[in-house]
Structure 1
Amino acid sequence: MAVMIGHHDAEKAFLEPWTSGRLHHAWLLAGPQGMGKGAFAARVARFLVTHDRAGEGGAPLSLDDPGDDQAGRLVAAGNHPEIIHLTRQVKDKSKDLARNITIDQVRGMIRRLHLSLSLGAWRVVVIDAVDDLETDGANALLKTLEEPPAQTLFLLVSHSPGRLLPTIRSRCRILRFQPVERDVMTAWLHDLRPMLDMAEVRAIVAASGGVPGKALALIDSDVAVMEKKLLAIATGGDRDNRLREALAREVGGTSNRARLELVIDIVPGLLAQLARERPLGEIAPVLGQWDRIQRTVRDAVRGSYDGAMVGFEIGNCLAELAPRGGQAAR
């Protein structure tokens, strides 16, 4: 598993109150999906169940300090009795995840909180993501946050904290995970995948928006190949619609939503490249097509979000930028 970045400030914000013995009982880990909030929650949980009641020794430690060896082995095996993890479950006879974290899951967690600690000084509840709670489950969680058991820490992962009950947010200390600066992301990704060409690294970083998890997903989606396909449409015009139809197939359907988002992320950089390469008087059409693509995506989000339609229309916009000899009739 790749080491995530962008956690330094959050780690410091957690370790300081732990060291002083004034650790808040509930933490809301808020930020874009893909920032590694779940990984950070797992590090905090492991740290607490492998360390003493408070920061004996004074100096702040790293969350990756090994602590108690026996407890650490249990965590690594996924068997530590004092770590409770709530997430959406796989449906019966299906590989799909349930729509929500259910009230029954929350009630089961609450029952476990009434038991005495069997190992160590802390119990940790990780809810990933708290956005997925059913309404009844959110209300049940709120009651527990209002009267928390001693030596119990709640880590609530949220991709959309504005959608949570205000009363839940008010019971938590908020740790915000912000997108990582472009230079830092570039250096991290280059170190992580040194076999990638630097031009490809920069394209991935630009498309990721500073979100490390998204950058890793983009690598797996093969950004360079997709860029070449889009560029072929923009330079050749795709007279027989073959490339546009192939693009529509690749990004259509629910299972290909990530690939469609990749295309949408790549297009601004591709258009910027085309604009740089063209005479000043030919830049306006490039900007016009970018406006058209934005309208297409916006309208699709408001409607049924037909990925194939969006992909084909993006292809149409790019094809119109091709030299006139290569454009197809539409």
Structure 2
Amino acid sequence: MFGFSIFLNEGLTSETIHYIKTMSQNGFSGIFTSLHIPEDDAAQYRKRLTELGAIAKTCELELMVDISGEALARAGFSFDRIDELKEIGVTGLRMDYHICNQQIAKLSQQMLIALNASTITEKDIQELRDANADFSQLEAWHNYYPRPETGLDRQWYRKKNQWLQDYGFTIQGFVPGDEQLRGPLYQGLPTLEEHRGRHPLAAALDLLADTDKVYIGDSGLSDETLRHFSFYIKEETLKLRVQPFDKQVEYVLGDHVNRQDEARDVIRSAEARFKKIPHVEPLPVRVRESGSVTIDNANYLRYMGEIQIVKRTLPADEKVNVVGQVIEKDIDLIQHIKAGQKFSLESVEKND
């Protein structure tokens, strides 16, 4: 599943409410927020969380709240009144630090609890078992890392997740947004360092290889990136925007499926052979760079009309016309077009 973040450092504006509703309509199913509260804003946070919970309930969204120490008490809530949180729309609590395993175990018998995936140990597992924690109500959520160079290493992440999966945990991670990045650094909020600055959907699909839930760490997605997510969630299709080089690009635009016999160097459209394509005249040759969109011309005889996306730079070929280029922002998505994956090519001129 996919989720997104809403931060309570300011009141819920009409724009924020519209964003929440739009994310819900486009297939996102959860909200993450935090109750790390400045002392002078405690009362405001209670009001804002109550408002956020009401919107989450209206949109049928899960609402996970990150807490630590006395954060709940400062906002006027209590571990002893969990029903009050559930009534306003909170569906889960993420325990950050200074909350003992005995308290976590007790809370797990009442609602969904997320542990800090990166720091949980064997000792924690044993203490939770000894305290009769309801492990069906426990998940493991990773942190996001605002400061560049501090995000997690991929191999460590995978190893930790395998350990968590062995205990049956549902695992969550964050990917950066590409609009309204969170200050004061504005460098994105990824779990993995290598995802910083990458296309949010490409990063999300990367995490899904060994992660159950992926949330956008930052407060916003651009309209185009949200459209990418919506298309993937609803149609299981990856949309790629193409800069045209020649009018022959019209032959390649539209919906495709990567062949089941996945090639090393290129994505081969299984649909191309079923398209009615006229005689394809050769074009001036050019190097096929990563992201090039090509169609085989008449010099390729019976292969004429084959449509490909290049995965790694290949030499120019007089039998292959390069008719467009996947735009730079969407390049990261190409690696996720595996065997049988649906994809759609769209000219950027349509959106100008």
Which TM bucket (shorter chain)?
under 0.3
* TM-score, length of structure 2 as denominator length: 0.25
Give the number of the structure with larger relative contact order, counting CA–CA contacts within 8 Å between residues 6 or more apart: 1
More strand by share: 2
More helix by share: 1
